[in-house]
Amino acid sequence: MMQPQLEFAFEIRVDIAPHLPIGRGPDENLSFTPVTGGTVAGPLLSGKVLPGGGDWAVERSGTAQLEARYLLEAQDGVVIDILNRGYYRATADVMARVESGENVPEEEYYFRTAPVFQTDAPQHRWLAEHQFLGLARDEDGQVCVRVFVVR
C-alpha cells in the first residue's frame, strides 16, 4: 500500500493582534484573532502575509477547532487565498506558558492544520491542486506554520 510522502514547501509566519473573545455558551468558547501581516519563506514559495482576515476558534473540552482565512502575496505579486483549518490542544500549564510569551517546544502541544489554497495564476496553480499539512507553533508572538505538500 502506498504511503504518503511529505515535502517541505514553505513556512508562514503570521503576525496577529490580541484575540477577541466572542463567547457562546457554557461548554464552548468562540474567539477571533485578527491577522496583521507576516512572511512566507521556503523552497517552493516566498512572499508575505497581507493584513486582514483572521482565525476563528471554537474551543470545546480543551480542544480548539480553528478556521483561519487570509491572503498571501507571492514575491511575484500574485495574491493567493488561504483557508487553514486545524486543531489546537494544550494542557492548562502549557497554555499559560504560551500566553505569557514563552516559546514552548511544539512537542508539548498539538497544533496541526490542513491549508487549502486558491489561485488561478499559472505559476502558483500547483497550490490549488495539492493537499497540504501544516505543523504549527506559537513563537515570538507569531503563529508559525510549516507547510508540507503531500506527494
Nearest to 37 by CA among 50, 20, 24, 47: 50
Q: What are the structural domains, with CATH classification, of the chain?
A: 6-150 (2.40.160.20)
CA atoms within 13 A on the CB side of 120: 0
**How far, CA to CA in Å, does 139 sit from each of 49, 120, 145?**
16, 32, 10
Q: 0.85 exceeded by the pTM? A: yes
CA-to-CA distance for 106 and 102, rounded, in angstroms?
11
Q: pLDDT by residue (tens digit) across 34-79?
A: 999 999 999 999 999 999 999 999 999 889 999 999 999 999 999 9
Contact 60, 87 (CB under 8 A): no
The C-alpha cell at 30 is: 468562540
Q: pLDDT by residue (tens digit) across 88-121?
A: 999 999 989 988 989 999 999 999 999 999 999 9
